[in-house]
Chains A and B, each alone.
Chain A
């Protein structure tokens, strides 16, 4: 059984390799249909697959392979001429084979799909030909035969080579290589420690031995690293097929040229660049290369050329994706950027072409007039950049109108062991990854104060005529400030496409470091990329250069959001909702769910009156209390900030209303909210990216409480309120739901997971549970099952939440209404202290 498993595993690995070769060969064959050797190779590959399938008893697979092979045999024998539909058909068979293989890999079985239709079509294609055989063309056949006969050495050579290489190579699991790499990392650290230890001693023997250890370790490290190297061709293999399919579907002619496919990269990096590369190629095919007619009109050959080039340069790998298409219209990029609100019209004219091109990497940016199913939706280039930068790479784009576009990726060779610069600040040591390092500047004591200048209180340094924004590491990390008057060391760093100077107390050394991840308690900190162990055995934190840049504010805002959004998309929960954005005081973007908003009003400032020390306005024959938001949040004079006409957001639950005075209503967004950060100050639930910029979420409960809390008190008078348990893993969503329910007069308890929910249930009488469907573990149904099992809980109604339902309070009211007659709560709703504060 075990042995069978192994054979199947072997078969899968081999077949995958064969199939990717088939993909390539078929595309090549399409351009050179007369190449008999190539055809023979394709035929052999298919034959091999068929043979193995038969042997292992995979009948469906065998059938597909058999028919495809039959077709290929006809082609090989010259009885059938290759044309695009036939190539597509064979490629389809390759895809079918692949999907069956995936099925086998997952389940060990072929699965239920029979691919009868495909098999029939393969058969039909072969039949059609057989019934109408190409008359044996005496002119054509002999050369083919001759080619086969003249080439007998070639296939043999190939087999000889492959068998020889089979002897010299063994298959090693990737897991083992990763483990080896980890161990080498440990060894490098131990070596660093020994070296540090031995330099302090006058022991010749120890010094000699540690030097030897040093050399061997370095060599070992290089070699182990090599074992994980893969040629970039591994990723490129699937591109010819991709380009072929794309150009067919787009009605374009694209010729793909690849150079440097043998360039090697660490496999973790290969993995990481796979998707960005595919994306760039798709983009080039869709937007870059023009339709044949347009090309001819422009005096270019109908067939466009897409060239991929990879080469080593200075310890990095460069990958260029170039097309000879229409290029990018800079004016249009500028115009789009202004339309999208990425920058002002004046700024758009000021920036250089290069900077304008870089706007393409902003999220949501697309210059495409139409959205195709290939690209143009505006998601993509930002993702490409995020992916590349995550592995320490750089993306650069250049374009000339009418001549084409080139995207250049600069990628490090490996990630596991990186050179780093050791700096000290506030008595602690930190590591800065060398890739981000541009230069070191040292200002001697005395002159340093003069050389760092201030623009609007922001420190800058004149570096060869350009102003370099400066951040102090001590300030960014909240460490002890260094003594002034001393010499100042500035580390000039590159983050994204900007530079900034980081002032540190001291610069000590460069060292090869092994990046180790931080525990989850520190994962959320954007200023650290990880940790490492130094030569002296101490732990040092590795600074995340873009993170430091953001935290110190030296990187412009737009960059911050790109990063924030990208980083948090993964783990952050995603909520689709409509949000109202507005401005109040120094808070530029405040958001509330639109479902809570009753109306937006403009009222003349003169009509605002005071009653009992509070601002009110007569509104629809009632007195509407007003909450001056800016002064609530910041303190200060309430009257000062009111504009004329005053902008009022009216919140209402039908009977009671509250108007919130804001400076300006900005916009309404409907989008997935990516929660960034929980609240640090009163009045806010947290921050999230809305419309590509950060917005603070208003905590309505706080606003209500702050302006007198009549609302909740009124409600309390109506009798004991029902207690609702909100079980929802995301703190942010919990906050939103809590807000809404408390406004509706419920007493709200919350829980992040099942265990907490049980704890809450045990502690208090709960009338209703609203549980997220993805409540860990076991989801809402798990919670339901648990409630059913306990006699005292089984009557508690449960509502499943998918997100932040707009009519949740209605649902709850209904569920409570239904449950009351049926249930006899053994624990009546306990009277609660005044509404739990949400801070």
Chain B
């Protein structure tokens, strides 16, 4: 088990094709093989009492998919009211989950030697969810850890207590 865990981390580091997207001024990449599809803004059913980062549920061809707002997940300021988010549907261990992002970027091939650990001074909310950084010529590509992103227990700070029954 241990061996595979390490191997997984290693392979993620060296693989180089990423689907990219923007959340506020951050530029993210997700391993292209993990991305199921990218959709325009979808009709959303809210889940009252649910965790704040969950925007709601969407109907993806008969499949019910949870949508996580990446701005809230990364504890960034909210999106402008008139800006419609895009859905990046990623495959996770527990099925498909949609990540709501600001805009979609290109699919990029990157060199493995451009990889580095996330910088220490990165936004604390974002840090826990980022595997590392690729130094591209004009900007930094942050590699998003999708499993941790959809695991809401990860990187949750004390100021965001889960709602509970009174």
Name A residues whose Cβ lies closer than 8 Å to a Cβ of B: 186, 189-190, 426, 428-429, 476-479, 516, 518-522, 524-528, 531-533, 537-541, 550-551, 553, 677-681, 731, 752, 754-755, 758, 777-778, 782-783, 785-786, 837, 839
Scoring B48, B150, B151, B158 by chain A CB atoms within 10 A of each residue's CB, the highest score goes to: B48
Q: Which residues of B contact A477 (CB under 8 A)?
A: 48-49
Given A533-B62, A677-B164, A752-B153, A520 contacting B5 (CB threshold 8 A): no
Q: Which residues of A contact B46 (CB under 8 A)?
A: 428
**Bound complex: CA of A532 vs CA of B45, how far in Å?**
11
Scoring B46, B59, B153, B161 by chain A CB atoms within 10 A of each residue's CB, the highest score goes to: B59
**Bound complex: CA of A180 vs CA of B166, how far in Å?**
42
Partner of B50, one of A429, A521, A783, A785: A521
**Bound complex: CA of A477 vs CA of B46, how far in Å?**
11
Q: What would 22 A/B residue contacts be, using CB atoms closer than 8 Å?
A: A428-B48, A476-B49, A478-B48, A518-B57, A519-B66, A519-B94, A521-B66, A521-B152, A525-B50, A531-B45, A539-B45, A539-B64, A540-B45, A541-B45, A541-B47, A677-B165, A678-B162, A680-B163, A731-B153, A752-B153, A755-B9, A786-B2
Task: Please state if B45 and A551 are interface contacts (CB–CB under 8 Å).
Answer: no
Task: Please state if B94 and A428 are interface contacts (CB–CB under 8 Å).
Answer: no
B73 to chain A, nearest CB (A): 11
B65 close to A (CB within 8 Å): yes
Task: Please state if B59 and A539 are interface contacts (CB–CB under 8 Å).
Answer: yes
* Nearest 8 interchain pairs by C-beta: A778-B1, A477-B48, A519-B66, A839-B158, A539-B45, A777-B1, A782-B2, A539-B57
B residues 48-70 in Cβ contact with A at 8 Å:
48-51, 54, 56-59, 62, 64-66, 68
**Bound complex: CA of A680 vs CA of B150, how far in Å?**
21
**Bound complex: CA of A320 vs CA of B67, how far in Å?**
45
Task: Please state if A519 and B48 are interface contacts (CB–CB under 8 Å).
Answer: no
A530 to chain B, nearest CB (A): 9
Q: Which residues of A contact B142 (CB under 8 A)?
A: none
Given A189-B62, A477-B49, A519 contacting B95 (CB threshold 8 A): yes
B119 close to A (CB within 8 Å): no
Task: Please state if A426 and B48 are interface contacts (CB–CB under 8 Å).
Answer: yes
B117 to chain A, nearest CB (A): 8
**Bound complex: CA of A152 vs CA of B47, how far in Å?**
68
Q: Which residues of A contact B166 (CB under 8 A)?
A: 551, 553
Q: Which residues of B contact A521 (CB under 8 A)?
A: 50-51, 54, 66, 68, 97, 150, 152
**Bound complex: CA of A526 vs CA of B49, how far in Å?**
10
Q: Which residues of B contact A837 (CB under 8 A)?
A: 158
Partner of A550, one of B150, B152, B165: B165
Q: Which residues of A contact B57 (CB under 8 A)?
A: 518, 531, 539, 541
Query: B159's closest neighbor in chain A, by CB?
Result: A839
B44 to chain A, nearest CB (A): 8
Q: Mark B69-111, 1 if CB is under 8 A from A, else 0.
A: 0000000000000000000000000110100000000000000
Q: Which residues of B contact A541 (CB under 8 A)?
A: 45, 47, 57
Given A189-B62, A521-B68, A551-B166, A754 contacting B50 (CB threshold 8 A): no
Name B residues whose Cβ lies closer than 8 Å to a Cβ of A: 1-2, 4-6, 9, 43, 45-51, 54, 56-59, 62, 64-66, 68, 94-95, 97, 150-153, 158, 161-166
**Bound complex: CA of A476 vs CA of B58, how far in Å?**
23
**Bound complex: CA of A519 vs CA of B50, how far in Å?**
11
Task: Please state if B1 and A479 are interface contacts (CB–CB under 8 Å).
Answer: no
A486 to chain B, nearest CB (A): 20
| Given A428-B46, A429-B45, 9 more pairs with CB closer than 8 A | A479-B48, A519-B95, A532-B64, A533-B59, A533-B62, A541-B45, A551-B49, A778-B5, A785-B2
Query: A551's closest neighbor in chain B, by CB?
Result: B165
Query: A189's closest neighbor in chain B, by CB?
Result: B62
Given A533-B64, A538-B59, A778 contacting B45 (CB threshold 8 A): no
Q: Which residues of A contact B6 (CB under 8 A)?
A: 786
**Bound complex: CA of A539 vs CA of B65, how far in Å?**
9
Query: B148's closest neighbor in chain A, by CB?
Result: A755
**Bound complex: CA of A821 vs CA of B4, how far in Å?**
33
Partner of B161, one of A189, A426, A680, A754: A680
Q: Which residues of A contact B94 (CB under 8 A)?
A: 519-520
**Bound complex: CA of A678 vs CA of B158, how far in Å?**
11
Task: Please state if A525 and B5 are interface contacts (CB–CB under 8 Å).
Answer: no
Q: Which residues of A contact B64 (CB under 8 A)?
A: 516, 518-519, 531-533, 539
Q: Which residues of B contact A479 (CB under 8 A)?
A: 48
Q: Which residues of A contact B62 (CB under 8 A)?
A: 186, 189-190, 533
A331 to chain B, nearest CB (A): 36
Q: Which residues of A contact B153 (CB under 8 A)?
A: 731, 752
Query: A731's closest neighbor in chain B, by CB?
Result: B153
Query: A536's closest neighbor in chain B, by CB?
Result: B43
Query: A474's closest neighbor in chain B, by CB?
Result: B48
Q: Which residues of B contact A550 (CB under 8 A)?
A: 165
Q: Which residues of A contact B162 (CB under 8 A)?
A: 524, 677-678, 680
**Bound complex: CA of A760 vs CA of B14, how far in Å?**
22
Q: Which residues of B contact A518 (CB under 8 A)?
A: 57, 64, 66
Q: Which residues of B contact A783 (CB under 8 A)?
A: 2
**Bound complex: CA of A520 vs CA of B94, how far in Å?**
7
Q: Which residues of A contact B56 (CB under 8 A)?
A: 539
Q: Which residues of B contact A677 (CB under 8 A)?
A: 162, 164-165
A376 to chain B, nearest CB (A): 34
Q: Which residues of B contact A429 (CB under 8 A)?
A: 45
A619 to chain B, nearest CB (A): 34
**Bound complex: CA of A540 vs CA of B6, how far in Å?**
41
Task: Please state if B164 and A680 are interface contacts (CB–CB under 8 Å).
Answer: yes
Q: Which residues of B contact A531 (CB under 8 A)?
A: 45, 57, 64
**Bound complex: CA of A429 vs CA of B161, how far in Å?**
26
Q: Which residues of A contact B165 (CB under 8 A)?
A: 526, 550-551, 677
A482 to chain B, nearest CB (A): 14
Q: Which residues of B contact A540 (CB under 8 A)?
A: 45
Task: Please state if A754 and B2 are interface contacts (CB–CB under 8 Å).
Answer: yes
Q: Which residues of B contact A520 (CB under 8 A)?
A: 94, 150-151
**Bound complex: CA of A550 vs CA of B164, how far in Å?**
11
Query: B46's closest neighbor in chain A, by CB?
Result: A428
Task: Please state if A538 and B43 are interface contacts (CB–CB under 8 Å).
Answer: yes
Query: B96's closest neighbor in chain A, by CB?
Result: A519
